[in-house]
Chains A and B, each alone.
Chain A
Amino acid sequence: MSLAQSRLEVLPRSLQVLLALGLVALVACPFVTTDFYAQMVARMMILAIFAMSLDLLQGVTGLVSLGHAAFFGLGGYALSLVSSDAGAVSLWWTLPLAVAVAALFALVIGFFVVRTHGIYFIMVTMAFAQMLFYLVFDNKDLRIAGLSLRLGGSDGIYINFKPDAGLVDLENKTVFYYFTLACLLAVYAFLRRLLWSPFGRVLAGIRVNEHRMRALGYGTFGYKLAAFTLAGALAGLAGYLWGAQTGFMNPELLGFHMSAHAIMMVILGGMGNFAGAIAGAFAFEYLLHVFKDLPTIGGFNTGKHWQLWIGLFIVVVVAFAPRGLLGVAERLLRRREAP
C-alpha cells in the first residue's frame, strides 16, 4: 500500500508560528474560558496524544492500524484495575505500569501483525483490538491464575479518585489541565526528536519503500515492531490520562469506532508531522461537540443525529481534502507569502 508522502515533515515557519499561537491559547485556556470548556480542551489534549501515537505508525511508518484504541483502552483499564475505592493510588507507579501494560500488549500483538502488509495489517489490527474489546465487554470479573480482575463488563467501570502525584494535587481541575498539557508537550517534543533521529529516518524509509530498506540491510521487522510497541505505549499513556480525567472507562474506548476516530483525527489534521495529529484531534472533537449541539429544526432533532453529520463530514474530507487541515493551512499561508 502506498501512502501519500507528507511534504509537511519539516514544518514551514508560518505553521510553526501558528503552533506557537496555539500553545499560548492552550496555556491561557483555563483562565479565559469556563470550567466546562477547559475540561473539554483537557480531553482534546489527551486525544491529541492518542492521535500522535497513531501518527507514528500511520503517517511516519505507513502502517495504518485500525485497532489502536486497544492500547488506549489498556492504559485506562490498567489504571481502573489498580485503583481502589478507598483512596487515591500513587501516580508514580501506576502511570509507568499502565504504559508498560500497553507496551507489552503492543509488543505481543505487534509480533503477529507486523508480519502482515497493507490491507491485512488494517484488518488484523482491528481483529486483535476486537478480541480485547470482547474480553472486557463479556466479563464483569475475570479470573486468571488466581487473580480476580474487576473489568466492569459492558457497563464500564468507575475510577473514583484521580491518581496521587505527591507534590501536585491532580484532584484540582486546573492542575490536572496543566499536567495534561505538560504530557502533550513532552510527547510532541519526544516524537519530533524521534522523527529526525536515525530510528525515525528508518521508519520513514520503510513507509516509502520497505523492500529497499531491507535491501540496504535494515531489519525492518524489528524497526516496525519497535514503532508498534512505542506507539502502543504512548496510546496507553493517553488512555491512562483519559481514565484519570473522566473517571470512567467503558469497552467502547477500546473498540473499533474509537480506533477509526483516531485515524480520522490524523488524516483530518495531516499525517506524518505530529502537529497535524494534534490539530486533527482538536478539530474532530470540536466538530463532534458542534454536531451533538445542533438545534431542532421543524420537529427534526438534528443534534440527535450527529452521527449522520460526522459521517457525511468524513466522506467529504476524504473526497476533497486528502492532505488534511494542515495541508490546507499550509497552502493558504504559502499563497499569502508568495509575491
Chain B
Amino acid sequence: MDFANFLIQLLNSVQYGLLLFMLAAGLTLIFGIMGVVNLAHGSFYMLGAYLAWSLSARLGSLTLALLAGAVIAVAFGLLLEHLLFRHFYQRDHLDQVLLTFGLIYVFEELRSILWGDDVHGVDIPQALAASLPLTDNLSYPVYRLVMSGVCVALALGLYLLISKTRLGMKIRAGAFNHAMAEALGINIKRIHAVVFALGVALAAIAGMIAAPVSSVYPNMGSQVLIMCFVVVVIGGIGSVRGALIAALLVGTVDTFGKVLLPQVAGMLVYMLMAVVLLWKPEGLFKQ
C-alpha cells in the first residue's frame, strides 16, 4: 500500500468512525441518562436515509431535505418518547430489549409499506460532486470530506451543549441523580424528552448524510446498529468521549481490515472488542 492509498483509507476510516460516533453518541446518551437500551436506534438511521431520498426528490435539494428531515426526526423522536419510551424508563433492561426489538419489526415494515423494498441511490449535491486529486490516478471525493466536516461540527456542538450550556448542566445533573435533580427544580421529564429527541436526530442526520455514499436500502438499520453496539461496548456505556474514541478505532480497524484482510474483515471489529473486554470488562472509559 503506497502513501496516497494509505491516505485514502485513513480518510475513509475517520469518516466511517465519525459517522458511527453520531449514532453511538445518541445510543449511549439515551442509555446513560434514561437507562434505556434501544435496539431500535438503527431504525432512526434508516429513517434518516429514506427521508433524505424521499425529500430530496421532492424538494430538489439535499440541503433542504437535510433541514426538513432533521425537523421531522426531532418531532418523531418526541412523539415516540411521549407515547412509548417514557413508560419504560423504570422497567428492566430485558423488557426494553424486547420492546425495542418489536419496534425494529414495526419500523421495518412501515418503511416497506411507505417506501417499498427497492435499493435507491441519492445524488450528491452538484457543488460537492468534485474529487480532490491526490496523485495521478488517485483522488478523494469532496463529499466525503464534507461529511466528516458535518460530523465534527455536530460532535463539537454536542460537546458544547453538554459541557457549557445551562441545558447541558441539567442533563448532566439528571444523569447523575434523577431524584436530586428533580428536587432542585429541574423538569426531568422534559430533559428526558429532549435527550431522546437529540439521540433520534443525531441518528437520522447520520443516515441522511450517509445516504449518497451508502445508498438507501432495507436492513441498513440493523447492520449499523450492531456496529454501534460494538462501539458503545468498547467505549464504555454512557461515555460520550469513549464512544468517540471507540468509533474512530472501530472505523480504522474495519476500513483497513477490508483492504488488508478481506477474508476475515467482518469479524475483525468483534475480535477488537473481545480483546478490549478481556483487558477492561466494562469498556475503555466506563463512567
Contact = CB atoms under 8 A, between A and B. Distances in A.
Given A131-B271, A313-B102, A112 B229 contact: no
Interface string A308-335: 1011111101110010000000000000
A98 interface: no
A66 B94 CA distance: 10
B92 A116 contact: no
Contact of B99 (A2, A120, A305, A318): A318
B102 A312 contact: yes
Interface residues of B, number: 44
A127 B233 CA distance: 9
Contact of A311 (B105, B232, B278): B105
Interface in A162-210: none
B109 A112 contact: no
A112 B265 CA distance: 21
Contacts of B37: 119, 122
Interface in A118-135: 118-120, 122-124, 126-128, 130-131, 134-135
Which of B98, B113, B281 has the largest number of chain A CB atoms within 10 A?
B98
Contacts of B101: 260, 263-264, 314
A118 to B, nearest CB: 6
Contacts of A116: 277, 281-282
Interface in B64-81: none
A322 B95 CA distance: 8
A260 B99 CA distance: 11
Given A123-B229, A124-B277, A311-B109, A318 B237 contact: no
B97 A64 contact: yes
Contacts of B99: 314-315, 318-319
B31 A119 contact: yes
Nearest to B274: A112
A137 B266 CA distance: 9
Contact of B230 (A122, A127, A317, A319): A127
B105 A134 contact: no
Given A4-B92, A308-B109, A311-B106, A127 B226 contact: yes
B103 interface: yes
A50 B256 CA distance: 37
B60 to A, nearest CB: 31
A301 B87 CA distance: 32
B113 A1 contact: no
A323 B105 CA distance: 22
A3 B94 contact: yes
B89 interface: no
A127 B273 contact: yes
A310 B98 CA distance: 12
Nearest to A134: B266
Contacts of A64: 93-94, 97
B110 A1 contact: no
Contacts of B31: 119
Contact of B282 (A120, A135, A307): A120
A58 B99 CA distance: 17
A315 B103 contact: yes
Contacts of B109: 305, 307-308, 311
Interface string B248-287: 0000000000000001111100110110011001110000
Which of B84, B99, B281, B283 has the largest number of chain A CB atoms within 10 A?
B281
A263 B102 CA distance: 12
A263 B95 CA distance: 10
Given A64-B97, A127-B273, A314-B101, A308 B266 contact: no
A308 B229 contact: no
B222 interface: yes
A256 interface: yes
A267 interface: yes
B112 interface: yes
A1 B95 CA distance: 11
A220 B94 CA distance: 22
A145 to B, nearest CB: 14
28 contacts: A1-B93, A4-B92, A64-B93, A64-B97, A112-B274, A115-B281, A119-B237, A120-B233, A127-B230, A131-B266, A131-B270, A134-B266, A134-B267, A135-B264, A135-B266, A135-B267, A139-B263, A256-B226, A264-B101, A305-B109, A308-B109, A310-B102, A310-B105, A311-B109, A314-B102, A315-B103, A319-B99, A322-B95
Interface of B: 31, 37, 84, 87, 92-95, 97-99, 101-110, 112-113, 222, 226, 229-230, 232-233, 237, 263-267, 270-271, 273-274, 277-278, 281-283
Given A116-B281, A315-B84, 8 more contacts: A58-B94, A115-B281, A123-B233, A124-B273, A127-B230, A131-B267, A260-B97, A308-B105
